[in-house]
């Protein structure tokens, strides 16, 4: 059973390790973990990740969205294992062979290091994309159909879950069962701005629809009091 306080991964949308560390320290105990993404990793590297997470009881969601040939992605997975991520993302559009190579690499490295294996999550359709955006890159099926196809491919290839918008949660939960992890961005409380997200839902509605974990950035990080904002979300989920 995942408690409301453990469901939220806060997206630390800054390339500056000191700022990310300070925010992570403030939010420890009020969120389930922290998400560090591609912008941060390119700016600060593995050392920056360690500077943010070291000594904090906050699981790390390393959102790198890896997408390359199978051997290269497997090598990338091995290289970030010393950071002890709880979750790592890769693009499902890389194909089944790439996802299998990543899963094998994660399992092998975890056994060698004597640590828990990170969960690998496939990115389906970015929450900033609409059906028109998909059409512009040659995908002529509806968003939900594309998400369903890619999520099933990830499941068969051995991934632990997917990243999806809240609008696809109920469909994927029915399709892939209760144990498949659904990491869900595009979460906006009613009191927060939608910003650039197009497929959004409130935290409570997303969990009701089947979300396992919620990724929430600006409603927390841009708040006058980030701790109060995080706790407000926890209260809404508990209710």
DSSP SS3 for 7 = coil
User: Is 10:221 a contact under the CB 8 Å cutoff?
Assistant: yes
Enter the DSSP assignment of 218.
Answer: H
> At how many degrees (to 10) do helices 17-27 and 38-53 cross?
60
| Dihedral class, residue 84 (left if φ above 0, else alpha if ψ from -120 to 50, else beta) | left
Alpha-carbon distance of 90 to 63, in angstroms, equals 8
Alpha-carbon distance of 234 to 239, in angstroms, equals 9
Alpha-carbon distance of 147 to 124, in angstroms, equals 5
Cβ contacts of 72 within 8 Å, gap of 6 or more? none
65 is catalytic: yes
Torsion sign across C-alpha atoms 67, 71, 72, 73: positive
Q: How many residues does the chain have?
A: 239
Alpha-carbon distance of 132 to 96, in angstroms, equals 26
Catalytic residue list: 65
């Amino acid at each position: 059973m995942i408690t409301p306080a453990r469901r939220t991964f806060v997206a630390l949308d800054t390339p500056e390790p000191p700022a990310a560390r300070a925010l992570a320290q403030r939010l420890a105990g009020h969120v389930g973990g922290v998400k560090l993404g591609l912008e941060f990793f390119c700016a600060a590297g593995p050392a920056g990740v360690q500077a943010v997470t070291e000594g904090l009881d906050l699981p790390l969601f390393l959102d790198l969205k890896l997408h390359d040939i199978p051997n290269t992605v497997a090598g990338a997975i091995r290289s970030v294992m010393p950071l002890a991520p709880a979750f790592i993302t890769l693009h499902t559009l890389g194909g089944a062979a790439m996802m299998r190579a990543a899963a094998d690499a994660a399992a092998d490295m975890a056994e060698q290091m004597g640590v828990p294996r990170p969960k690998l999550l496939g990115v389906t359709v970015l929450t900033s994309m609409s059906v028109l955006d998909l059409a512009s890159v040659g995908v002529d099926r509806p968003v939900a159909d594309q998400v369903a196809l890619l999520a099933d491919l990830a499941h068969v290839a051995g991934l632990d879950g997917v990243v999806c918008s809240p609008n696809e949660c109920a469909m994927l939960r029915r399709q892939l069962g209760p144990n498949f992890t659904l990491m869900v961005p595009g979460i906006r409380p009613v009191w927060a701005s939608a910003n650039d997200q197009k497929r959004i839902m409130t935290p409570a509605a997303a969990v009701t629809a089947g979300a396992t974990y919620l990724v929430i950035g600006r409603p927390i990080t841009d708040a006058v009091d980030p701790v109060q904002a995080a706790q407000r979300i926890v209260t809404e989920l508990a209710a």
